[in-house]
Structure 1
């Protein structure tokens, strides 16, 4: 007799697998490579007619992604969890975090240009797939997506071959970088070396700890810090490039509500700075850090991370 497969319960949340940043793409046939999308990491949970979009930190943002929810709801599955990145492409066909932010801003009509680039399938029709290899999970994902075509749900293509060549081409095309994944390993929540990211330019999240006031009620420069794995804040300098007048005024109003008399990092002696509680996270693009004091080199503001 063939015993029926045990059905697993659909998890309420799965902590996402996070790639480790490396200076060069890995080599070897066990690696596959994908474009590094620049948007919001989402897990799309399907349980019958109930479809939800859960952010990297566990926030339910279902109402912000109607196009993705509609697409996922049309998949011919009973239950599933898709892992992917919600993105908006610019005129050059490159994912743009600024456009993504504008597309889902509160108070605006949700945009139909938001697309989920799905790169993994963690659960399908009562079966937890995380213990299976990436290659096996991807086969299931391709089959599920091919059952129902919808513009709001797209497969993030894998590229076989030389990681170095894939990375070089990605940079030539103006992309942020690539993510390389071991196709022979199971899904691992949290930071892992089974997934590696290689960036053409550096881009990370920083905590705002103050700002330098500008003219007309705007922000001239943000003061930011990097939070290490132990939760300790380390000063990273100022970020002014990329701040529009409209955006900086909104940021000032938000930061003024959490102003402090002294900086949260001891020993900072800068004058004319409005210090704040470390509650606002921003994404910053930069070209490296100074050796002496670990300040950001050529930083540019890319957006507020509302999901963090």
Structure 2
């Protein structure tokens, strides 16, 4: 895997490792959205989307371009999600990724828009954030009002891992991501980010409702993770021009 994301600087994306669900106050939990992992790099009002392999897929997701209108400089980690009958669909994503023609991508985006679920911010207005703990980065992310952008959502964070795992199992979602609250963003830190598959052989007794992006609310969810402390200072959101980049390439793998 090559360094991707920061234009001219490079950063190795973290990847979750399979594991059992950890429990304790040092962990936070998110839904595994089963999408395609993207690093969204906004620089001088221009958005560039890259996969973990470093492939530029900006032209394939024109509906994410307004991110550069809200934050003029930032690096975000997240994943693109497409729904089929209310469930995340890998097949729909593959179909989108093989459409190299920007005009066709725009047509598909209007007919069946994807959602960019953001779960981390690694740089903001020139300030690198990777050394700061996850709680602080998430607090910074929450202050950016990204949910005001139509197809951009901040992935919700939950405190109760077992209840969330039961909830995603009930709704047919693949599983849960568990991340340590007090650690930085380090690709070498194995075990700080775990992917936990939802069990298929047992049914929950009191599942937590999970809101699927782009669909009707599923009901009350667990409380989101409160900020652990002040994040980095940053200026008001900039307004930048929107440009699209892209080249012909084979569709990258999911995650």
- TM-score, length of structure 1 as denominator length: 0.58
Check conservation: 1:33, 1:178, Cα contact below 8 A: yes
* Aligned-CA RMSD value: 2.4
Question: Which residue in 1 is equivalent to 2:58?
Answer: 62
Structure 2: gaps spanning 5 or more residues: 1-5, 201-249
Question: Which residue in 1 is equivalent to 2:231?
Answer: none
Question: What CA distance in whole angstroms lies between the structure 2 residues aligned with 1:306 and 1:172?
Answer: 27
Q: Which secondary structure does the structure 1 equivalent of 2:99 belong to? A: coil
Counterparts in 2 of 1:1-308, with a 5 A limit?
12-22=9-19, 24-68=20-64, 70-75=65-70, 77-92=71-86, 94-106=87-99, 109-110=104-105, 111-112=108-109, 113-144=113-144, 146=145, 149-161=148-160, 163-190=161-188, 192-200=190-198, 305-306=252-253
Q: Which has the higher strand share?
A: 1
- TM-score, length of structure 2 as denominator length: 0.70
Question: What CA distance in whole angstroms lies between the structure 1 residues aligned with 2:8 and 2:159?
Answer: 31
Check conservation: 1:57, 1:307, Cα contact below 8 A: no
Question: What CA distance in whole angstroms lies between the structure 2 residues aligned with 1:12 and 1:151?
Answer: 30
Give how far 1:305 is off: 4.5
Check conservation: 2:35, 2:254, Cα contact below 8 A: no
Give the aligned length: 194
Tell which structure's C-alpha radius of gyration is larger.
Answer: 1
Check conservation: 2:179, 2:193, Cα contact below 8 A: yes
Structure 1: gaps spanning 5 or more residues: 1-8, 203-279, 281-303
Q: Which secondary structure does the structure 1 equivalent of 2:33 belong to? A: coil
Question: What CA distance in whole angstroms lies between the structure 1 residues aligned with 2:10 and 2:154?
Answer: 22
Q: Which secondary structure does the structure 2 equivalent of 1:18 belong to? A: coil
Question: Which residue in 1 is equivalent to 2:215?
Answer: none
Q: Which secondary structure does the structure 2 equivalent of 1:56 belong to? A: coil
Q: Which secondary structure does the structure 1 equivalent of 2:66 belong to? A: helix
Higher relative contact order (CA 8 A, sep 6+): 2
Residues 134 and 166 of structure 1: is their aligned pair in 2 closer, same or farther, counting only changes over 3 Å?
Answer: same
Residues 102 and 190 of structure 1: is their aligned pair in 2 closer, same or farther, counting only changes over 3 Å?
Answer: farther
